[in-house]
Structure 1
Amino acid sequence: MPKAGGGISATIGGMRMEMRGSRVIGAAPERVWAALIDPEVLRASIPGCDSMEGDVENGFEARVSQRIGPVGASFNGRVELEDVRPGRAYRLVCHGKGANSGSARGGADVTLTATEAGGTRLDYDVTAHVEGRLARLGGRLLDTFAKKMAERFFENFQRVVEGGGMSDGTAEEKRGWLRRVFQGEA
């Protein structure tokens, strides 16, 4: 399970979010790295990702659709990789804009470390700044949503890398998430 921490703070013109955590994946670092730079694996792992194209050298273009509370948001975004240390680490720099929901920009430092058991520990440190209609939803809703999306991404990513396929987001999984939110566990 991921260990996530962080929080949200209001800034002039938007909301700033921070989140950090780690996850142990049952695959060698080389396999995890290959998956982290594969647009098809990323598309399959990102909840609501309609398309993902590109490569490490030129960056990735993506379209993601999500519902965040009462706001339906479709974002067109760009992801570029910086400080790439093949097989070990990189920094993601992202920016996206929604037609009627606002914009988001941020980054993530991702580091891979081999475990003694032959797996990979993936550490991440994320910062994001959200503006517009999404920022007006409030910190608690955005924080809960961001944590849920990170958890779903890493669950999907881990399934793909470990060879278990993708979750289809069944009704039972969705009810489980809603139950945790209303019971204060999310």
Structure 2
Amino acid sequence: MELTDEITLKAPLAKVYAALNDPEVLQQCIPGCEELIQHSATDLEAKVVLKVGPVKARFSGTVQLDVSGAPEAFSLTGQGNGGAAGHAKGGAHVTLQERDGKTVLRYEAKAEIGGKLAQLGSRLIQSTAKKLASKFFLKFAEIVDQDVSASLDA
């Protein structure tokens, strides 16, 4: 499964990049995230509860960041295990481009799933993945844009 999208944020690139590397911001944005622990600058561990169709599962997983192209680009890879519900692994490539004090964020993500989740059908999985990505980026934009508005009001 592959997802691509683009979102424009009111914040400058440096602020967007900092927010994308802030575990507290990410935990607020990741749907169903119960815990997000940063072990190092490039290693994270997460516990997430998700419902995909009739299957609800608690996933534990790890994420590794490749920040060699930062702050304009970075990649992440991760894997998670949801016990009997199944497992998932995947990654994303994110690019940031500043335009007139705003930042255009583009991402390309790929994921593979197995177990009970894989039996639900690709349409349900694809629509759920799009919905989760949309929720993440809407919340992320709300937090980052709110932060910019607050600093402008001060």
Q: Structure 1 length normalisation: TM-score?
A: 0.76
Structure 1 residues 116-172: Cα deviation after superposition (integer angstroms, max 9, x where no partner): 3x10000000000000100000011001100100100000000111117xxxxxxxx
- Which shows bigger deviation, 80-89 or 121-130? 80-89
Output the amino acid matched with 1:136: Q
Alignment-derived partner of residue 69 in structure 1: 53
- Runs of 4+ in structure 1 displaced over 3 angstroms? none
Alignment-derived partner of residue 128 in structure 2: 145
Alignment-derived partner of residue 23 in structure 2: 39
Give 1:85 deviation, angstroms.
Answer: 2.3
Output the amino acid matched with 1:23: I
Q: CA RMSD in A?
A: 1.2
Q: Give the structure, 1 or 2, with the largest relative contact order (CA under 8 Å, sep 6 or more).
A: 2
Q: Sequence identity of aligned pairs in percent?
A: 40
Alignment-derived partner of residue 50 in structure 1: 34
Alignment-derived partner of residue 30 in structure 1: 14
Is 1:59–2:32 an aligned residue pair?
Answer: no
Of 98, 108, 130 in structure 2, the residue corresponding to residue 114 of structure 1 is: 98
SS of structure 2 residue aligned to 1:84: coil
Structure 1 residues 92-125: Cα deviation after superposition (integer angstroms, max 9, x where no partner): 1010000221100000000100013x10000000
Query: What are the ranges of 5 or more consecutive residues in structure 2 without an aligned counterpart?
Result: 148-154
CA–CA separation in structure 2 for the residues paired with 1:147 and 1:37: 22
Give 1:89 deviation, angstroms.
Answer: 1.1
Q: Structure 2 length normalisation: TM-score?
A: 0.91
Of 67, 74, 82 in structure 2, the residue corresponding to residue 90 of structure 1 is: 74
Is 1:125–2:73 an aligned residue pair?
Answer: no
Alignment-derived partner of residue 180 in structure 1: none
CA–CA separation in structure 2 for the residues paired with 1:137 and 1:96: 18
Of 99, 105, 113 in structure 1, the residue corresponding to residue 83 of structure 2 is: 99
* Alignment map for 1:160-179 (pairs within 5 Å): 160-163=143-146
Alignment-derived partner of residue 183 in structure 1: none
More helix per residue: 2
Query: What are the ranges of 5 or more consecutive residues in structure 1 without an aligned counterpart?
Result: 1-16, 165-186
CA–CA separation in structure 2 for the residues paired with 1:162 and 1:83: 23
Give 1:57 deviation, angstroms.
Answer: 2.8
Is 1:157–2:140 an aligned residue pair?
Answer: yes
Output the amino acid matched with 1:106: G
Is 1:136–2:136 an aligned residue pair?
Answer: no
Contact 1:48 1:64 in 2 (8 A): yes
